[in-house]
Amino acid sequence: MKIDFIELRHIRMRLVAPFETSFGVELDRDCIILMLRGGGLIGWGECVAGMSPGYSYETTMTAWHVLTDFFVPAILGSEIVEIEDLRDRLRVFKGHPLARAGLEMALWDLLAQAAGKPLATILGGVREAVPVGVSVGIQKDVDLLVETVGQFIAEGYDRIKIKIKPGRDVGDVRAVRETFPELKLQVDANSAYSIEDAVSIEALDDFDLLLIEQPLAEDDLIDHSKLQARLKTPICLDESILSVRHARQALEIDACRIINIKPARVGGLSEARSIHNLCLESNIPVWCGGMLETGIGRASNLAIASLPGFILPGDISATDRYYVEDIADPPFVLNPDSTIDVPSRPGLGVEVLNDKLDRVTLRREVFGL
């Protein structure tokens, strides 16, 4: 099909509660919503780059620049038959996986709709519902953290991830573990430690955690490997894994024993599926990470998380954990067994609500033939 129209929107949505990590606190979430038209169908994508380069070097503004000046012109007017056609056209450009992934998501939606099948089916999904947990930001103090975790458990989440940073690690984890001895618990440092101050990471080894996510720098597989050798708890890499090659190399040197797969971080669903396939062959458990997505990105995450290797609960929570009002319908709800249903309608399987989308749009640009 020929891609004859593309629309980009920079949107901003208020989070139900501020989200604090080792790299900062967010009250609002910014992202770019992409709309692609081809063959009379419309596909939607979400580029998760936020306002500050805290998680990744990409921001909403750099993604806007790279998309509008390079990626969109490379595909507008092109005859696209499969995802590889898009990947081929973008291969000459370096980096910017979040921008790449947003565009790729819209194309997956379009191609799945053209095939009349849910995205999950097209990707090779095998589950109708996926196990999920909730990612809890750093709270004002330990008491509030324990209370917040307790509320999510009461809502039905059976796996909790807590964000940590130097000074807010062992104390936070001990308090949660003492209050909830049986809880499936894991932590995420978002690369806030160095190998020199990893003693506090080693101190977390005795709390029966499912995993310790991204303790060290994103560009440092070597020190992660040294740290993993000192821990019985599996290290899980997030920021460090940008491609299937990184995944293979990390596993070869035992830099991690679990991988967090975020399609956005690795440049799209196609690369995410390759990493999943590698891990499945290598008996390495994977799970789907999140970037506080709207219903559009969440539908895509649920689709990839339905693949057989995603055996650990994902950071894919119900809509009401993030937003009062979403831009897509229906909202995602938590099932009593701490799972969320995978959309079963063709494509992403959600309906974008144009009036709500208009209300959160800060900037819009269209590209037509």
Looking at the Cβ atoms of 213 and 218, the one nearer to Mg ion is 213
Binders in 40-59 for ligand OSB, by CB under 6 A: 55
Cβ of residue 22: shortest distance to ligand OSB, in angstroms?
9
Q: Pick one of 188, 218, 271, 293: the residue that binds Mg ion (CB under 5 A).
A: 188
Return the range that interacts with ligand OSB (CB under 6 A); candidates 93-101, 124-132, 224-232, 288-296: 288-296
Closer of 54 and 156 to Mg ion (Cβ): 54
Are the beta carbons of 326 and 16 closer than 8 angstroms?
A: no
3 state DSSP class of 110: helix
Residues forming a β-bridge with 83: none
> Angle at Cα 26 formed by Cα 20 and Cα 30, nearest 5°?
140
| Residue 289 beta carbon to Mg ion: minimum distance, rounded to whole angstroms | 6
Query: Least CB distance from residue 133 to Mg ion, whole Å?
Result: 12
Whether the upstream peptide bond of residue 336 has omega within 30° of 0, thus cis, is no
Alpha carbon 18 to its chain's center: 18
Which of 32, 105, 266, 291 touches ligand OSB (CB under 6 A)?
291
Nearer to Mg ion, 7 or 239 (CB): 239
Residues 115-144 that bind ligand OSB (CB under 6 A): 135
Tell me how far the alpha carbon of residue 56 is from its chain's centroid: 12
| 235 token code pair | 């290290």
By CB under 5 A, name the one of 30, 58, 169, 238 that touches Mg ion: 238
- For the segment 229-248, give every residue that binds ligand OSB (CB under 6 A): 238
DSSP for 50-107 reads -SSTTSSS--HHHHHHHIIIIIHHHHTT-B--SHHHHHHHHTTS---HHHHHHHHHHH
CA distances from 145 to 151, 168, 179, 247 (A): 10, 11, 11, 33
- Active site positions, annotated: 163, 262
List residues near Mg ion by CB under 5 A. Answer: 188, 213, 238
Tell me which residues touch ligand OSB (CB under 6 A).
55, 135, 188, 190, 238, 289-292, 315, 317
